[in-house]
Amino acid sequence: MTCVLRWGLMAVSSLLLSSITHAASQLNQVYQLSTDNTQLVYTVGEDGRLIFRYYGPRLSNTDQFAPWRSYNRPDCQREANYEAYPSFGLGYVNEPALSVINANGSLITELVFDNYVQQSSEGVIHGIFTLRDRVAAVCVQLHVEAYQQEDVMAQWVTIANESKGEVSLQRFYSSFLNFRANNYYLTHFYGTWAGEMNRVEETLEPGIKVVESKKGVRTTQSENPSFILSLDHPAQENSGHCIGGALAWSGNYKLSFEVDERDYLSVLAGINPFLAAYKLNKGEQFQTPKFLFTYSANGQGTISRNFHDWARRYGLHAGMKERPILLNSWEGAYFNFDEQVLTDMMDDAAQMGVELFVLDDGWFGNKYPRNSDKMGLGDWQVNAKKLPRGLQYLIDYATSKGLKFGIWIEPEMVNPKSELAEKHPEWIVQSPGREKITMRNQLLLDLTNPEVQEFVWGVVDKLLTAHPDIYYIKWDANRHVEQVGSQYLSSNEQTHFWVDYIRGLYEVYDRIRAKYPDVMIQACASGGGRVDYGSLPYHDEFWTSDNSDALQRVYMQYVTNLIYPPIATASHVSATPNHQTGSVTPIKFRFDVAMSGRLGLELQPKDIPAGEMAFAREAITNYKNHVRELVTKGDLYRLISPYACTNNHAANMLVSKDKRKAVLFAYCTGFNRRGIRPTVHLQGLDPAKVYRITEINKVSKRKAFWGDGNCYDGAYLQQVGVELQIARQYDSAVFLLEEVK
């Protein structure tokens, strides 16, 4: 940034040469985009650049941002100035949002403001800043959407090559934000298979902290493209200034947090530039994915609620629709089933009150039957030996039991032992001349290739055309990219793979959604490998993790729901001992945890001991009657963090928008010594409303709260709180709060 002053002197002369002239009124003009409670402010400097000025709580008067003291006034101390979309060249020495190799080989980009237009639709203001390079014919449009009620903003750019030659994009982030605080604390999310979405909070020191994925596909398993940034102090639930961010992209991403020599923090978010140079021919343009962000002046609780509200309304397929309770066959049967096993599971599911049966992996392949993960992937014909009467028999059986039917597919992938691999070796992602590395015995299909897109579309379309009653699809993706290489892309376009793969995937999804808007689709990628706001507009939910252990899920769902809404968080009651962790947990604990998200079951119902069946049925009824609506549309309040509690407790609640109904979940994550009981201070209630508090999902007459069944006003419940008698590991309690008039 110290170079800017030097550049400022040059700018005067280049301004004179510039073909872009600015009316005096445009210079020092303040451009602001506001939501109900937040604001983003830019000004155009005297040198014609669009400058980022402010992002934070909404101000009453933004005129005060002008005039901006320009750095080409020699007598004044230059104010910090960061461009709205900093490019490389002429002074910017931090990580730039944009770097380009121009048609003439020049590495310099110098964007100046051309014009601003604004459009409004219901609840959303969309501003477009047009910026043009002063010399090269490259045009950047910076888009900002301000979602009024949700206090969420979205930013992305389009970059157009208006020159006669070829332009190579080297870096093309979606968004740039800048902050000034005494300290910066970054919460980000990491994990692995069966252990997704752990949280870590770290102080940002001078230098660059990067959160990224270079895996191409299944990119959110080891890091998620989202974060919470807290200014001055570590993030608190209900106080302090923080920013939540999430990139809406399912491919390689990079989030960069740079504390520079002035102690300013610059945040870049976008597609990972790693080996991803993108060529734009004459007249072509490139659009980046959206980066979503939200600001809270009262802690991270508001960040989550803003994202959840936004997702339900704009970012998640059928975001307001209640989801059916499902039984998935995977952990109950794995690959070992025949018609009888499945119809027995359906019988039991129907009796328990389950509403949807999902047939997982193992139903397809004949030449290479899919009886394990070793073969058959890619051959989407029904396995005639296992299912001689075909899928329709199972669908009709489900229907006769009052169940909807769902099915697992993994159409982006192929086993080398498959008819598909034999027929179309050229569709497989690989590097010529090298031995292919399999992962879970499978390879990736090259979705940059329109023929492969057609095939993947065909897998879905044929299934849904042949069986229009299929209600639900679980779309899996069980490997990432290791040996990048496309036989479709030309040799000088290999770096396009990362972007074109995801664009190909989204194109297939667009077709699916256009023809099948009502089919429910779950995003699964070995569990939580595709949990991002790029994929969620196409999906109704995601499979949070292959780890179905209830205690693990207390932590994982706490973190997942920092950014993504509970209704999208598939959460299943599984067998005990748990198949991933070996832990033995009571059925009540398993239900009480699963009911805080999209409730499902993933076990062989026959393995539920007879004595526990009545409880399971009652819990399912409670979910339908009382909890589901709150999980779908309610506001989430985290009361006790499993991460932060000095004792072994966790609690959260969901409150209806009208504050007339709520559900409280409390869990013991470990043993608590005698006398240690959690007092839970409720949140989100109306202090003046009176609520009856009723425990549900009870396994004995013992009251987890001495006041069970009594009425209290919201102020009491929030200030005095509720002391719970849960002390042993895996103790849990669920309470319903209903307004009484």
Minimum gap (Å) between residue 652 Cβ and ligand GLA = 25
* Residue 260 or 331 having the CB closest to ligand GLA: 331
| Listed residue (113, 27, 23, 28) closest to 66, CA to CA | 28
* Longest pairwise C-alpha distance within the chain: 86
* Residue 145 or 541 having the CB closest to ligand GLA: 541
For residue 74, what are the contacts with CB-CB under 8 A and spacing of at least 6? Answer: none
Minimum gap (Å) between residue 667 Cβ and ligand GLA = 24
Q: Cβ atoms within 10 A of the Cβ of 277, count?
A: 19
Beta strand 167-180 with 98-101 is antiparallel
**Residue range at the interface with ligand GLA (CB under 6 A); choices 168-176, 244-252, 519-527, 621-629:** 519-527
Q: Cβ atoms within 10 A of the Cβ of 154, count?
A: 24
Binding-site size, ligand GLA (CB under 6 A): 12
**Residue range at the interface with ligand GLA (CB under 6 A); choices 36-44, 215-223, 251-259, 524-532:** 524-532
H helices within 424-515, ranges in order? 450-466, 497-515
* Residue 361 or 739 having the CB closest to ligand GLA: 361
- Using CB under 6 A, pick the residue from 260, 361, 379, 592 that binds ligand GLA: 361
Query: Which residue spans within 20-166 are E strands per DSSP?
Result: 30-34, 38-44, 50-57, 82-83, 98-101, 111-121, 124-133, 138-147, 152-161
* Residue 247 or 524 having the CB closest to ligand GLA: 524
Minimum gap (Å) between residue 410 Cβ and ligand GLA = 7
* Residue 476 or 731 having the CB closest to ligand GLA: 476
Minimum gap (Å) between residue 710 Cβ and ligand GLA = 43
| Listed residue (353, 325, 359) closest to 597, CA to CA | 325
Residue type, 672: N
Beta bridge partners of 208: 258
Give me the half-sphere count of Cα atoms (radius 13 Å) on the Cβ side of residue 739: 14
Rounded to whole angstroms, the Cα distance separating 635 from 653 reads 8
Residue nearest to ligand GLA (CB): 361
Query: Using an 8 Å Cβ cutoff, are 619 and 596 in contact?
Result: no
* Residue 240 or 332 having the CB closest to ligand GLA: 332
* Residue 33 or 460 having the CB closest to ligand GLA: 460
Question: What's the residue count for the chain?
Answer: 741
Determine if 196 is a binding residue for ligand GLA (CB under 6 A).
no
The interface with ligand GLA within residues 364-403 (CB under 6 A) comprises 373
Minimum gap (Å) between residue 391 Cβ and ligand GLA = 17
Q: Residue 740, SS3? A: coil
Minimum gap (Å) between residue 279 Cβ and ligand GLA = 36
Query: Which residue spans within 312-469 are E strands per DSSP?
Result: 326-328, 356-359, 404-409, 413-414, 443-444
DSSP at 682: -
Give me the half-sphere count of Cα atoms (radius 13 Å) on the Cβ side of residue 13: 4
| Listed residue (612, 707, 627, 703) closest to 664, CA to CA | 627
Structure-token pair, residue 698: 């009870």
For residue 624, what are the contacts with CB-CB under 8 A and spacing of at least 6? Answer: 325, 353
Binding mask 326-355 for ligand GLA (x = CB under 6 A): ----x-------------------------
* Residue 244 or 527 having the CB closest to ligand GLA: 527
- Using CB under 6 A, pick the residue from 41, 131, 217, 524 that binds ligand GLA: 524
Rounded to 5 degrees, φ, ψ at 537 are: -60, -20
* Residue 330 or 509 having the CB closest to ligand GLA: 330
DSSP at 428: B
Binding mask 459-478 for ligand GLA (x = CB under 6 A): -----------------x-x
The interface with ligand GLA within residues 98-137 (CB under 6 A) comprises none
* Residue 211 or 525 having the CB closest to ligand GLA: 525
Beta strand 184-190 with 50-57 is unpaired
- Using CB under 6 A, pick the residue from 47, 258, 355, 360 that binds ligand GLA: 360
Rounded to whole angstroms, the Cα distance separating 314 from 307 reads 10
Minimum gap (Å) between residue 360 Cβ and ligand GLA = 5
Minimum gap (Å) between residue 656 Cβ and ligand GLA = 32
Minimum gap (Å) between residue 370 Cβ and ligand GLA = 9
Query: Using an 8 Å Cβ cutoff, are 531 and 225 in contact?
Result: no
The interface with ligand GLA within residues 611-670 (CB under 6 A) comprises none
| Listed residue (487, 455, 585, 477) closest to 532, CA to CA | 477
Query: Using an 8 Å Cβ cutoff, are 288 and 268 in contact?
Result: no
The interface with ligand GLA within residues 535-564 (CB under 6 A) comprises 543, 546
For residue 487, what are the contacts with CB-CB under 8 A and spacing of at least 6? Answer: 426, 427, 428, 430, 432, 446, 449
Active site residues: 476, 546
* Residue 156 or 471 having the CB closest to ligand GLA: 471
**Residue range at the interface with ligand GLA (CB under 6 A); choices 216-224, 484-492, 523-531, 606-614:** 523-531
Structure-token pair, residue 585: 């947990």
Rounded to 5 degrees, φ, ψ at 116 are: -135, 135
Strand (E) or helix (H) holding 628: helix 628-633
Minimum gap (Å) between residue 513 Cβ and ligand GLA = 22
Q: Measure Cα distances from 316 to 157, 225, 539, 630 in Å.
A: 22, 16, 6, 17
**Residue range at the interface with ligand GLA (CB under 6 A); choices 21-29, 307-315, 316-324, 521-529:** 521-529
Determine if 527 is a binding residue for ligand GLA (CB under 6 A).
yes
- Using CB under 6 A, pick the residue from 141, 296, 430, 526 that binds ligand GLA: 526
Q: Residue 660, SS3? A: coil
Minimum gap (Å) between residue 545 Cβ and ligand GLA = 8
Determine if 144 is a binding residue for ligand GLA (CB under 6 A).
no
Query: Using an 8 Å Cβ cutoff, are 185 and 230 in contact?
Result: yes
* Residue 372 or 647 having the CB closest to ligand GLA: 372
Rounded to whole angstroms, the Cα distance separating 571 from 592 reads 11
The interface with ligand GLA within residues 408-437 (CB under 6 A) comprises 408
Binding mask 33-72 for ligand GLA (x = CB under 6 A): ----------------------------------------
Minimum gap (Å) between residue 572 Cβ and ligand GLA = 9
Residues that bind ligand GLA (CB under 6 A): 330, 360-361, 373, 408, 476, 478, 524, 526-527, 543, 546
